[in-house]
Structure 1
Amino acid sequence: MAGSKSVVLAALVANGAIAVLKFGAFLLTGSPSMLSETYHSISDTGNQVFLLIGIRYSAKDPSRGHPFGYGKAQFFYSFLVSVLLFGIAGWESLKHGYDAIRHGHQVAPGTVTVASVTFDTVYVSVAVLLGAIAFESYAFIKAHAELRSQMAEYGWTGMVEAFRSTSDVTTLTAFTEDAIALGGAVLALAGIVLSRVTGNHIYDAVSAALIGLLLMGFALALAWENKRLLLGESVPANLDEDLQSLIRDHPGVTHVDQFRTMFVGPDDILVAADVSFADDLDTAALDEDIGLIESKLRERDERVTFVYVEPEL
């Protein structure tokens, strides 16, 4: 949880600073791709605020109305982030880029004078985008390191498996946003430089549209991954089998009749099992065995928070 929060805070600071710089560059240059990047960074900044709200809300203690806690708040706010990323930044970027492709755009003067110094406005955009790449690289490296640590902890073999298996949607969202931000900045940089070199606005306009498509594509993928957890996904198959084996192999257990798991938060797993025990176990021994089974499950994965074992004699 602490790792997730630090990742989001790093992204918040980076995106807030970058949004201001990109908007200033757009005002100077009129570049469509720079406006798309401004939409992108403003959206990302708002998204980090939503993620922090989700982290704070999910930390509330369980209540009568929410006996399994508020952990799924992070799933909801991460889903909301993906919708906003799609609905605002992606759509606006694509629309602006499409309009610029069809109708062209008004190119700002090629030079600007500040404090008696005259310089080419393209350098403003290049400097801002290079700065954005540096900031986003820092945030991306931090999110990547947190995801890598989870991969090592849970034995995931690659990023694809981590993307599909992680319950830490906050880190996943921050990682995805940072990756998109880097890709968008590179596209904008290429479009602006090519337009200035060739004198053709189409490169800048196409870059703006591509940034919109990039945002929407990743936002849909992120929304799909959040949906699985909102609907109550079980733990990955290998962990599911390990937990069942711990119960099956416990002395006195003859059969696991029913076994169910569900993520009720990024760090909280619910385990419910109907277990057949040997006929000669008395009530006291049965209670002790159930307690031992619960301890074994929690030792196997510290995220196992709620355990319900129903004995079947």
Structure 2
Amino acid sequence: MAPGKARSHRSAHPTRGATRATVAALAANLAIALTKFLAWLLTGASSMLSEAIHSFADTGNEVLLLLGGRSAKRGPNSVHPFGFGRQRYINAFLVSIILFSVGGLFALYETGLKIAEVLRGEPDELLASSWWWVPLVVLGLSLVAESVSLRTALRETHSAREQLSIAQFVHESRAPELPVVLLEDSAALAGLVFALLGVGLTLLTGNGLFDALGAGMIGLLLIAVAVLLGVEMQSLLLGESATPQMAGVIAAALTSTPGIEAVIHMKTVHVGPEQVLVAAKIAVAPTQSAGYVSAVIDAAERNIREAEPMCTYVYLEPDIRRAVYRAARGIGSGN
């Protein structure tokens, strides 16, 4: 492969795979949320209500991600000259807020109410219900559905993350949808385990405190995931550079262009998950004409976009390396 033509493993557009994973998670979460809510109505189990709210929140989150992807497709205008790609980051950040408030804080609130009921000695609705077995069935089916959703997300991320671990992929990915779905599905599976333990131990021991503790663990889990997601999305909103792999490909595309002697310095920033702005100062020969330099810049821009199609905006500034300039002018090192 010719120099400058090597493709970074980040160049593959993940939007299609992200959309499939998001739609799969949306369908799974909506169905699960309805069954969990029904189980709570029948039994009054706090863990089931916390899980139902969690699943409804996740359903709303998937809708937000899909809407963000749709809004991000709008082209640039005079007010937003670099387009609307960051809309996807904004919606993903809203997801973290929903997870924290609607999911995590509500679960902790429900935990407090349940513990107060247990301390007052009030009869436990789950233990008194003839439908006590329903939460166990719902949680079992939910585990299967969430596992399928997580498997879909993992399959869609396989080509994108290559040798990266899931944790590294979540941290390094510049596209928010797949990391969000991965975190949500992982949290959902862990939350189901907590709920199953809470309900199961309550039924085995006759102590409603276990159900309350299960809801509390779900709340703490969701808050932890929300904080992690919020930190990652905040970094993307502030503007992250291209990955080292992509930056290397861009630099190689520049230096392989005839007429460019070196890259003096280069800066990149994601203006969207699949839109990168490149600003670089390049060294050219001091004896070349303006017309020649202009042609070199045009060729360099073409090379960059061929090597990395995500480089939507490219701004190159020609310059002369100081040592070369001094030599061309015959200026001694002591002057």
Structures share fold, TM-score greater than 0.5: yes
Q: What pairs up with 1:159-308 in 2 under 5 angstroms? A: 159-308=166-315
The answer to which of 60-69 and 76-85 deviates more is 60-69
Deviation, structure 1 residue 17: 1.0
Q: Greater share of strand residues, 1 or 2?
A: 1
Which TM-score applies when normalising by structure 2?
A: 0.85
Identity of aligned residues (%): 35
Return closer, same or farther for 1:279/1:307 CA change in 2, 3 Å cut-off. Answer: same
Q: What's the RMSD between the two structures over aligned residues? A: 1.8
Question: Where does structure 1 lack aligned partners over 5 or more consecutive residues?
Answer: 113-119
Question: 2:260 & 2:203 partners in 1: Cα distance?
Answer: 74
2:45 — aligned with what? 31
1:117 alignment partner in structure 2: none
TM-score by length of 1: 0.91
Change (3 A) 1:16 1:266: same
CA distance in 2, matches of 1:283, 1:106: 87
Task: Return the index of the structure with the highest Cα Rg.
Answer: 2
Match of 1:135 among 111, 127, 145: 145
Q: Secondary structure at the match of 1:275?
A: strand
Shift >6 Å, 4+ stretches: none
5+ residue gaps, structure 2, are 1-14, 321-335
- Distance in 2, matches of 1:227 and 1:281, equals 45
**Structure 1 residue aligned with 2:124:** 107
Residue pairs, 1:54-69, within 5 angstroms: 54-69=68-83
CA deviation after TM superposition for structure 1 residue 170, in Å: 1.3
Cα pair distance change 1:166/1:109, threshold 3 Å: closer
- Residue among 73, 95, 101 paired with 2:87: 73
Residues 198 and 214 of structure 2 are in contact (CA less than 8 Å); yes or no, is this contact kept in structure 1?
A: yes
Structure 1 residue 111 displacement after superposition: 7.2
Q: In the alignment, is the contact (CA less than 8 A) between 2:93 and 2:234 conserved in 1?
A: yes
SS in 2 for 1:122: coil
> Whole-Å Cα distance in 2 between the matches of residues 122 and 286 of structure 1?
78
Which secondary structure does the structure 1 equivalent of 2:85 belong to?
coil
> Which string of whole-angstrom CA distances, capped at 9 and with x for unpartnered residues, describes residues 192-211 of structure 1?
11110111112111110000
User: 1:167 and 1:299 mapped to 2: Cα distance?
Assistant: 20
Equivalent position SS for 1:71: coil
Q: How many equivalent residue pairs?
A: 303
> Do 1:29 and 1:107's aligned partners in 2 also have CA atoms closer than 8 Å?
no
Residue in structure 2 matched with residue 123 of structure 1 by the alignment: 133
Q: Is the 8 A contact 1:30 1:106 kept in 2?
A: no
- The residue aligned with 2:329 is none
Displacement of 1:106 after TM fit? 4.5
Partner Cα distance (1:129, 1:97) in 2: 19
The corresponding residue for 2:55 is 41
1:28, 1:108 within 8 Å by CA — same for their partners in 2? no
SS of the residue 2:265 aligns to: strand
1:20 to 26, 34, 37: 34
The offset of 1:135, in angstroms, is 1.5
Question: What does residue 92 of structure 1 align with?
Answer: 106
Shift of 1:103: 3.3
Q: Give SS of 1:10's match.
A: helix
Deviates further, 226-235 or 294-303: 294-303
Change over 3 Å in CA distance of 1:109–1:311 after alignment to 2: closer
| 2:179 counterpart letter in structure 1 | L
Query: Cα offset for 1:216?
Result: 0.3
